[in-house]
Amino acid sequence: MGEDSRAAPATPVTMAFDSLSRSVSSSVVTERTGDSNAGEECAAGAGVFFNGAGAGAGAGAGASRANSCSNSSSQSSTKIHEHDYIGSSSISVDKPEDRCGGAAGMVEDPDLSLGLGLGPAPRSKEALDCAGETTRERSLFQEVKLKLPSAGSKRGYSETVEEVDLVKGMGSKMLPAMFPWSSSSAKNNNTTAATTTTTTNAATTKTWRPIHDPHRTTFTPFQRKDSSSSLSHFSCLNQGEETPSSSGPMVGWPPVQSFRKNTLVAPAQTVKQAAELATPDQGSNGGQAAASSNSLFVKVYMDGLPIGRKVDLDSNNSYVKLSSALKDMFSGFVSGQPMSKQKSSGDVRSLFDGYETEYVLTYEDKDGDLMLVGDVPWRMFAATVKRLRIMKGSDAIGLGVPREAEATS
């Protein structure tokens, strides 16, 4: 799972929905193109949503993976035919690019609920429409939408039972005893259920992979069983309050004391950064990350100044912000006279443009090499930087030969 995606808690439902729709095509891609990795990953992405407590992270990962899957699927667009899992019928798949776009649009809709008891009915119908190209898929989602509670975010068990019955009604011959709670009275709409017996059922069950490690391939034979488990799982998933913006869909799960959860959240992140940043030889480097949660301070030295400063890479979390922060810190020390503004290139590396002496922003990375700032994406930079250095342009000739450059300046 990408750690990046973990850092950005997307709304779990939309992500899941997204990955679900993607995996509809992607699992087919598995069969057709033999691109098993992508397919599994996507399926895992879909399945990962049902990793309840990890929905925020997992779904994010799932979505990102599903993105890559759908890209690959777009290459073999015209030949994809979806089958339900008994292979009896096929669903034609329309333009995968649309799906990508549509699904991407859906990602932003935080209130979409897939009958997961997540709260109010979906805000916009078009969100639903984006999701399923096929009419059958669409009607599945619409049916599910019918069962959503009209008020309040809590759903009692009876409502989930209704939904389970709904699905059961759809695929009753396929999933006979998998829904343990559907024995009692179902107040659902069997008429709509009847119209979509096999195909939507197939579409959904085929793609709802169980929760498993994407690197383990042994789970495939049990897909059928586990699709039902994940189905019933997701219908009972959200018995607690739902706050789509929170990191997980379930209140109080996993059962870790809130004191412990709150205490561990920030330090875990910063220690991870510290671990990435530096080997434990220099206590200070680790310290600068671990000292205060959510801030990554690195030292900044300017040539000619004996005293350094520290700048926070967490609050100045882009190159533009960083260079303006450094300008604020060091502009008083720039030697030479201001010249005309024409020379300013807006380049993050050349600070203090327009002054007589050119300065270049460099950094020392975790390997000890002196590197020019601005080459790599910000995240990679923040993960590898150890300290910053503002060098005079004249000394920066031959950047890329780190140790010698340091020696000469």
Which C-beta is closer to another protein: that of 33 or that of 295?
295
Choice between 75 and 185, CB closer to another protein: 185
Concatenated DSSP letters of 348-398: SSEESTTBSS-EEEEEEETTS-EEETTSS-HHHHHHHEEEEEEEEGGGGTT
Minimum CB distance to another protein, residue 366 (Å): 15
Q: Which residue's CB is nearer to another protein, number 191 or number 257?
A: 257
- Nearer to another protein among residue 104 and residue 290 (C-beta): 290
Closest C-alpha to 29, from 118, 96, 103: 96
What is the C-alpha to C-alpha distance for residues 183 and 41, in angstroms, rounded to an integer?
35
Residue 361 C-beta: closest distance to another protein, Å:
27
Min dist CB 13 to another protein, Å, is: 15
Residue 104: CB atoms within 10 Å: 14
Burial class, 34, CB count within 10 angstroms (exposed 0-12 / middle 13-18 / buried 19+): exposed
Tell me the closest approach of the beta carbon of residue 27 to another protein, in angstroms.
18
- Rounded to 10°, the helix 283-290/258-277 angle is 140
Of the pair 3, 404, the CB lying nearest another protein is at 3
User: With respect to another protein, which residue has the nearer C-beta, 52 or 102?
Assistant: 52
| Rounded to 5°, angle at Cα 298 from 295 and 302 | 145
Tell me how far, at minimum, the Cβ of 150 lies from another protein, in Å.
14
CB of 71 vs another protein, minimal distance in Å: 24
Q: Which of 277, 333, 289 is nearest to 307 (CA)?
A: 333
Q: Could you report how far apart the first and last alpha carbons of the chain are, in Å?
A: 43
User: Which residue's entry shows tokens 């219908």?
Assistant: 235
